[in-house]
Structure 1
Amino acid sequence: MSHNVLDLSNVYSAEIFLPTQNLTKLDIRSNMHQPIHFDKYLIYPDHVFGVLSELSFLGIDMMPVPQFGRGFSQITNLRVLHFQSCYLASLSNTTFQMFSYFVQKLSLTNCRLKAVRTDVDVLLPFPNLRVLDFHGTFMHLRRALHLLHPYMYSNFTTINFGHVSDDSIDSSELPFVTTITPDMMKYLKTICVENLNLSNNGIVDYEFESLFTFDRPECLQTLSFKGNRLLLLLQ
Structure 2
Amino acid sequence: MSQVIHRADSRGHADHGWLNSHHTFSFASYFDPKRMGFGALRVINDDVVAPSRGFGTHPHANMEIISVPLEGSLAHKDTMGHDFVISKGEVQAMTAGTGVAHSEFNHSDRESVNFLQIWVLPRLMGVKPAYSQKTFEPNERVNRWQLVVSPDGRQGSVTINQDAHFSMAKIDVGRSLDYELQGDDHGAYIFVISGNVKVDGETLGPRDGLGLTDPKLLTIAAESDAEILLMDVPMTVI
TM over 0.5: no
Q: Which has the higher helix share?
A: 1
Q: Which has the higher strand share?
A: 2
Per chain length, whose mean CA-contact separation is higher, i.e. which structure has more relative contact order (CA < 8 Å, sep 6+)? 2
Looking at CA atoms only, which structure, 1 or 2, has the larger radius of gyration?
1
TM-score by length of 2: 0.30
TM-score by length of 1: 0.30
